[in-house]
Amino acid sequence: MGTGTPGKCIIVSAPSGAGKTTIVRYLLGCGLGLDFSISATNRPKRDHEQDGRDYFFITTAEFRQRIGAGAFVEWEEVYPGRYYGTLRAEIERIWANGRAPIFDVDVVGGLRLKEIFGEQALSIFVSPPTIEALEERLLLRGTETAETLRTRMDKAGQELAYSTRYDRILLNDDMQRACEEAHEVVNAFLSA
Q: pLDDT digits over 138-155, tens only? A: 788 777 788 888 887 888
Q: pLDDT digits over 48-90, tens only? A: 899 999 899 999 999 999 999 999 999 989 888 999 999 999 9
Q: pLDDT digits over 27-57, tens only? A: 999 999 999 999 999 999 989 899 999 899 9
Q: pLDDT digits over 6-27, tens only? A: 699 999 999 877 889 999 999 9
Residue 2 pLDDT class (50, 70, 90 cuts): very low
The architecture in CATH of the region 9-191 reads: 3-Layer(aba) Sandwich (3.40)
pLDDT reading at 123 higher than 70: yes
Q: pLDDT digits over 181-191, tens only? A: 999 999 999 99
The pLDDT, as a whole number, for residue 6 is: 66
Rg value, the chain, Cα: 16
Q: Considering the entire predicted model, what is its pTM?
A: 0.85
The pLDDT, as a whole number, for residue 1 is: 34
> Which of 35, 50, 14 is closest to 138 using CA atoms?
14
Domain edges within the chain:
9-191
